[in-house]
Amino acid sequence: MKLPAHIKFHQIAILLTLACIIGGCNGKDDSKKPTPPSVVVAKAFKQSVIESMSVVGQVTAKESVYLRARVKGFLEKRDFIEGSFVRKNDLLFQIEKMEYEANVEAAKAQLDMAKANLKNDTIDYERQKYLSDKDAVSLRIYEKAVAQKAISEASVLSAKAALKEAKLKLSYTDINAPFNGRIGIAKYSVGNVVGPNSEPLGYVVMVDPIQIEFNLTESFITTILQEKFHTKDLPNQKSRKGPSAEKVIPRLVLSNGTKYPEAGEIDFIDNVVNPMTGTIKLRALFKNPKAILIPGAYVTVSLQDQNKKEALLIPQAAIQEDQTGKFVMQVSKDNEVKKQNITTGSIYGVNIVVKSGLQVGDLIIEEGLQKVRSGVKVNPAMNKEKQQKTKEVSTNRVIKKESSAKTLPVTTENREEQTKQK
């Protein structure tokens, strides 16, 4: 059954009245605006730092040699303990000498015989020369005496060379250490027959000093060269000296995380870039008196510049990364958040160097990053304990750290007041 129109209107009016009573009909929205999320911010600040970078390097021996037998014979002596340290000219292996000593004696006899023949032929030559001058003998006899003397002289030279070779082969029966170092496993035991075609008898490496080889990117090397030769200090192409890197000090961190006490020096920079990796090889020399650095081991090479430089730093905790690279969430003067891409450099404790993208005094979010996105407003607060303040180059004064970890809101009014105080 249909209701009259005036009854329908009356029902609608009642419903609207109830809605106004329950929800309010004053036209005002009583719902509260969302509170801006609270975040902890930090200032980008300048500080004098020592530039450094770390790469992985490999320990290599400055000198190494495979000990080989240069003559054939029975191995008569092995005069060392495997894995021990040896000194230059120490006897390591000895091959049976009897055959080679006999060859030396035979060569000496041949030399004596050649000298005797030379003496006899020299006497005959002198006699024939005297008679030839007197025209008492034919020219043919004199020329024969000259030729015989020359043959005897050549025989003496040949006998001397044979004796020298015999003595040289005899010396090869003693295999000595070519330098101070450490010897590995011996391939042959006493009694084995060894010779020029045998495997190496042993392997000796120099352990003090020792080398560390590592690779750096071509862009890093290019930057160094541009900084070094930006003035008239051009490289001397006529000099026979190696590349100089006196201002860069290499230090090591061992595989167990401990620091190596000795600092090294870079003694080699390669002359080509590896096209497969885009890197260039460098080598540093280190003292190794305790033989802690073993050839073949991997270490972390830390390169430090002797000269301090002014750098812009921010906390590492503020940095994020995506497909476009590293970025931070920066807070503007009106407390609005925006994404700011940056490029970074070396790490110093909890801070990191920013090479581009920020300026001194810029506020970045250190804690609460999960609460924000670009374009939203925040309620920033600066943690005085975490803010790593030191000498600010722009003001040339020391800013003392607050003793308490009091968190103060950073508003536009506070920032203007701080600027007036500075």
DSSP assignment of 308-341 equals EEEEEEEEGGG-EEETTEEEEEEE-TTSBEEEEE
* 243 vs 191, residue with greater confidence: 191
What domains appear along the chain, each with residue ranges and CATH number?
38-50+309-421 (2.40.420.20), 53-62+209-308 (2.40.30.170), 69-95+173-205 (2.40.50.100), 97-171 (1.10.287.470)
Residue with token string 């400055």: 62
Residue 370 is given by DSSP the state G
Amino acid at 338: K
Range with the lowest mean pLDDT among 13-27, 78-92, 175-189, 306-320? 13-27
342-362 pLDDT, tens per residue?
988 777 778 888 888 888 888
Q: Is the pTM of this model over 0.85?
A: no
Q: Is 32 exposed, middle or buried (0-12, 13-18, 19+ CB in 10 A)?
A: exposed
Tell me the sheet residues that pair with 266: 284
Q: CA–CA separation, 322 vs 334, rounded Å?
A: 26
Q: Give the Cα separation of 304 and 310 in Å (integer).
A: 15
Model pLDDT, residue 241? 58
Q: Between vectors from CA 84 to CA 83 and to CA 90, what angle results, nearest 5°?
A: 125
Q: What average pLDDT does range 81-85 have in this prediction?
A: 92
pLDDT > 90 in the chain, percent: 39
CA torsion through residues 314, 315, 316, 320, sign: negative
Place of tokens 């020029």: 196
Read off the pLDDT of residues 270-287 as tens digits, 9 standing for 90 and up.
888 888 888 889 999 999
- Lowest-pLDDT range of 77-86, 132-141, 233-242: 233-242
**Structure tokens given for 93:** 């292996």
pLDDT higher than 90, residue 194: yes
pLDDT (average), residues 405-416? 45
Q: pLDDT: is 269 or 401 the higher one?
A: 269
**Residue 210 CB burial class (10 angstroms; 0-12, 13-18, ≥19):** buried
Q: Does position 394 have pLDDT exceeding 50, yes or no? A: no
Residue 164 pLDDT grade (very low, low, confident, very high; cuts 50, 70, 90): very high
Do residues 248 and 281 make contact, with C-beta atoms less than 8 angstroms apart? no
Q: Say which residue, 52 or 114, is predicted with more confidence.
A: 114
pLDDT at 399: 31
SS (H, E, C) 212-231: EEEEEEHHHHHHHHHHHCCC
CA angle, corner 158, sides to 154 and 162, nearest 5?
170
pLDDT tens per residue, range 361-384: 889 888 888 888 888 888 888 765
